[in-house]
A = this chain, B = another copy of it.
Amino acid sequence: MSRRIRLGMVGGSKGALIGPVHRAAARLDDRFEIVAAVLSSDPAKSLADAEALGIPHGYGSTAEMIAAGGLDAVAICTPNDSHAALCIEALDAGLHVICDKPLANAVEDGRRIADKVRETGLVFCLTHNYSGYPMIRQMRAMIEAGQIGRVHLVQASYRQGTLATRVESGDIPRRLRWRLDPDKGGTSHVMGDIGSHVHQLIGYVTRLDIASVTADLGSLVEGRMAHDTGSALLRFAGGAKGQMLATKVAHGAENEMAIEVYGDAGGLRWRQSRQEELSFVRNGEPAQTLTRGSPYLEPPARHACRLPPGHPEAFFEGFANLYADFAEQVAARLEGRAPDPLATVIPTAMDGLAGLLFIDACLKSSAAGRWQDVEHAA
């Protein structure tokens, strides 16, 4: 096999939510070796935590870890407000970066990262993990191939019930606390945390730009400061329209992410709770259910499958697809060859910047009560 990519991790200690997911995703396809980590600002504690996780080296800072050498890439799983400094530090050191979403809280920070990526030409992956699902890649490939014709209408949503009651009045875990703090988690919690996924997914499958938006962001639970619900109407460049909802007050909704896209020749629907399936209707014909792993899928979808249909793959595998594609791109650089083109469709810093610009427009629209143009990421 190709040599394993030597990865350093920043953030994501044991109690964390997403750090363990990054590690499992990195392990699944065996293309990484996690050789170092910054799990605490106290070097001794970081070393102890690393040891507990079976990671050879623990450091008290990213600078130390980088200085120690031996890394190909860095994974960043820290609170949003720290992404810019850490990403830039790693990129400046010539390291490829895989960073948890959202790219940043502030548009300005996101732009600095995107600029640095462009400047250094290094590989950068933003872990909008839903784009790792095979049936999402199938959806993207089918739309690109014109199978539903010109896109008219998009509806997308992400429902959770995690903030359906006023949980923050109690004793909440640290991993939730920073997310609800506007300084660390961003001005609009719901939009940064899950609305950003919806925005990215829409762009990923349709490749359309949102030209303008009218949004209503806020909190529906009495006494809450953080936004728990964001709702928006969308107008795309070219005339299509859309609607999106991101909410955390939907009791019983367990990361219900869903997207449907209708064009002049057909429609496609997907929802995460049935991640193995993609519903496809050609005008006037019976609905078809396409399934992950099937031989009739498009190459980008087959590329993202490990198992035949009916041996379901899910969240870890979708996440791992981003890691695998990142590994392929990094390996190609290390080996001086072109990467597998099917591995080049993972979310980038530019996608992350587009997300921040969209949230910014939503905030402005919500405050002004009218349509707001969305600045184009460039």
Contact = CB atoms under 8 A, between A and B. Distances in A.
A315 interface: yes
Interface string A264-300: 1011000011011001111111111111011110000
A370 B215 CA distance: 10
Contacts of A284: 295-296
B283 A294 contact: no
A203 interface: no
A169 to B, nearest CB: 13
A1 interface: yes
B307 A315 contact: yes
Nearest to A244: B243
A161 B1 contact: no
A20 interface: yes
Contacts of A251: 148, 262-263, 266-267, 281-283
Nearest to A242: B231
Contact of A313 (B232, B255, B263, B316): B316
A219 to B, nearest CB: 10
A24 interface: yes
Contacts of A182: none
A233 B27 CA distance: 43
Interface in A153-200: 153, 155, 157, 160-161, 164-165
Chain A interface extent, by class: 35 or more
Given A21-B307, A312-B273, A317-B314, A288 B291 contact: no
A252 interface: yes
A285 B312 CA distance: 18
A364 to B, nearest CB: 13
A286 B281 contact: no
A4 B54 CA distance: 9
A124 B255 CA distance: 37
A4 B306 CA distance: 25
A89 interface: no
Contact of A254 (B153, B264, B309): B309
Given A216-B233, A221-B264, A287 B285 contact: no
Given A214-B214, A252-B287, 7 more contacts: A23-B30, A153-B229, A160-B310, A164-B264, A250-B262, A251-B266, A280-B286
A78 interface: no
A293 B315 CA distance: 13
A68 to B, nearest CB: 22
B291 A286 contact: yes
Nearest to A53: B1
Interface in A322-346: none
A235 interface: yes
Contacts of A220: 152-153, 239-241
A161 B315 CA distance: 26
A254 B287 CA distance: 11
Contacts of A289: 286-289
A212 B308 CA distance: 35
Interface string A244-256: 0101011111111
Nearest to A34: B30
Contacts of A260: 250
Contact of A231 (B239, B241, B276): B241
22 contacts: A20-B306, A21-B307, A24-B29, A24-B306, A27-B30, A28-B28, A155-B157, A161-B267, A164-B264, A215-B233, A216-B241, A249-B262, A251-B281, A253-B267, A272-B310, A286-B289, A286-B296, A287-B289, A289-B289, A306-B316, A312-B314, A369-B371
